[in-house]
Amino acid sequence: PEGTFDCDLLVLGSGPGGYTAAFRGADLGLKTVLVERDASLGGVCLNVGCIPSKALLHSAKVIDEAAHMSRHGIVFGKPEIQLDKLRAWKDGVVGKLTGGIRQLAKSRKVDVVHGTGSFVGPHEMQVSHEGDVRTISFRYAVIAAGSRPVQIPGFPYDDPRLMDSTGALELADIPERLLVIGGGIIGLEMATVYEALGTKVTVVELLDRLMMGADRDMVRPFQKRMAARFENIYLESKVTAIEAEEAGLRVRFEGEKAPSEDLFDRVLLSVGRAPNGKLIGAAHAGVAVDERGFIAVDNQQRTNVPHIFAIGDIVGQPMLAHKATHEGKVAAEVAAGHKSFFDARVIPSVAYTDPEVAWVGVTEEQAKAQGLNYGKGTFPWAASGRSLALGRDEGVTKLLFDKDTGRVIGAAAVGTNAGEIIAEAGLAIEMGCDAEDIGLTVHAHPTLSETVAFAAEAFEGTITDLY
């Protein structure tokens, strides 16, 4: 667009999508403004999402491993949990990263403007901060305003014992009994943390399965391990009411597998996230927002208004940080005149539970539902020397192949650090590798990533040496 504007590129929201877009834009020579309502940069991911949850999950894992070392002849005492220090450590990790983002913004001369942004025209955004209002005009804009936790109407949200993921990550205390509503990744990660800290955790899920999206056979080892640790897992059950009482939150359930009611010290509601599309004055810029708050984009991240882009959670599933960053890069490059496209064949998903569950490309259930002519190779980690050395043997690696071409079309793994080994499968799919390519690639021994090669060999029927 022609004209004189305050900046070339205005980015609304400083999450993984937004800061990536802003940095890429600045690197490509665009005068860039980054608008963020929170005092801290980094969005949900850095402040109240990916990073603090992983910091706590690591602590949870250490507690758990220490407890199990007695089987190896090493006995640790009962852990003393100093909640203030644990919280401070988690906050320290977050602070390092958010501080880093601020530094990177400064070094690139990205102008960070704090305040709540709202479009007031196709080339103008109003930013309000503590009573001050300023208007910033832009040549291009990138909407990266993210998402927020979904609420179920009628629950007592003014009671701090009813938490969303942000509240759960605050770690105000270690409740005696916690109910997690929603058996998705976020709920299960937080359930894992609290269980390790000593809370009796119950999970309630509407569907007949946990971790929707992953193949059942991949979730099974996780579910089996958790069934022994969680107080209860109620599948095909729903919470119909929560009432605040002095002694706790009284929760009413529906579903054969759950009691009609029970009392919990805290409840975590994690039933999904809603996009922020309706909260940014999009209509003033002519940007179309659907009923749920999502903004549709093309493969260059353009909205229906060609000089306005949207990226990250606000454009739809999967709501993952690595999708947001890649989209952010594309949007900034297109604004700078490059011919970039978001062209990922696959986007990996990882649940950082213990064991981790990770998948990329088509799942076996999708392959079946789509009637694909697929073959599979699986490798049980009980036959992996590395896995056994780690004292864990419940893992499985599975690769799916197109039987006609032999190419890898999907992969999944469950087990310790499964999230780290899925990257190779993603690369294999992007590059059109077949089983032989993976099998012929020399993998270091003994590693967990070796299980990917073993699964490929299992598909080819050439597996010779398991350990």
What are the residues facing 226 on neighbouring strands? none
With beta carbons less than 8 A apart as the criterion, state whether 322 and 389 touch.
no
- Given candidates 37, 129, 238, 284, which one binds ligand FAD under the rule CB under 6 A? 37
Judged by beta carbon, residue 242 or residue 271, the one nearer ligand FAD is 271
3-state secondary structure of 423: helix
445 is catalytic: yes
With beta carbons less than 8 A apart as the criterion, state whether 124 and 249 touch.
no
Judged by beta carbon, residue 54 or residue 225, the one nearer ligand FAD is 54
Two structure tokens written together for 435: 């089983």
Establish whether 117 is an annotated binding residue: yes
Does 44 engage in binding with ligand FAD (CB under 6 A)?
yes
How far is Cα 425 from Cα 443, in angstroms, rounded to an integer? 13
# residues contacting ligand FAD (CB under 6 A): 37
- Given candidates 14, 303, 416, 417, which one binds ligand FAD under the rule CB under 6 A? 14
How far is Cα 215 from Cα 234, in angstroms, rounded to an integer? 19
- Given candidates 7, 9, 15, 411, which one binds ligand FAD under the rule CB under 6 A? 15
Does 16 engage in binding with ligand FAD (CB under 6 A)?
yes
Establish whether 189 is an annotated binding residue: yes
Residue 424 contacts by C-beta under 8 Å, 6 or more apart in sequence?
A: 438, 449, 452
Q: Considering only residues 173-232, where is the footprint of ligand FAD by CB under 6 A?
A: 186
Judged by beta carbon, residue 282 or residue 372, the one nearer ligand FAD is 282
How far is Cα 424 from Cα 451, in angstroms, rounded to an integer? 11
String marking each residue 46-65 x if it binds ligand FAD according to CB under 6 A: ---xx--x------------
Judged by beta carbon, residue 221 or residue 293, the one nearer ligand FAD is 293
String marking each residue 310-349 x if it binds ligand FAD according to CB under 6 A: --xxx----xxxx-x-------------------------
Does 129 engage in binding with ligand FAD (CB under 6 A)?
no
Judged by beta carbon, residue 49 or residue 380, the one nearer ligand FAD is 49
Establish whether 319 is an annotated binding residue: yes
How far is Cα 166 from Cα 392, in angstroms, rounded to an integer? 31
What are the residues facing 262 on neighbouring strands? 251
Does 17 engage in binding with ligand FAD (CB under 6 A)?
yes
Residue located via tokens 């007592």: 156
How far is Cα 346 from Cα 331, in angstroms, rounded to an integer? 19
How far is Cα 414 from Cα 394, in angstroms, rounded to an integer? 8
Strand order in the sheet with 374-380: 349-351, 356-361, 408-415, 396-402, 374-380
How far is Cα 218 from Cα 397, in angstroms, rounded to an integer? 9
How far is Cα 41 from Cα 14, in angstroms, rounded to an integer? 6
Judged by beta carbon, residue 41 or residue 438, the one nearer ligand FAD is 41
Does 420 engage in binding with ligand FAD (CB under 6 A)?
no
Residue located via tokens 């877009």: 21
How far is Cα 315 from Cα 288, in angstroms, rounded to an integer? 11
Q: Nearest approach, Cβ of 415 to ligand FAD (angstroms)?
A: 17
Establish whether 406 is an annotated binding residue: no
Establish whether 182 is an annotated binding residue: yes
Establish whether 248 is an annotated binding residue: no
Two structure tokens written together for 247: 């002694």
Q: Nearest approach, Cβ of 323 to ligand FAD (angstroms)?
A: 7
Does 415 engage in binding with ligand FAD (CB under 6 A)?
no
- Given candidates 25, 26, 63, 147, which one binds ligand FAD under the rule CB under 6 A? 147
Residues lying near ligand FAD in the complex (CB under 6 A): 12-18, 35-38, 43-45, 49-50, 53, 116-117, 144-147, 165, 186, 276, 279-280, 312-314, 319-322, 324, 352
As annotated, the active-site residues are 445
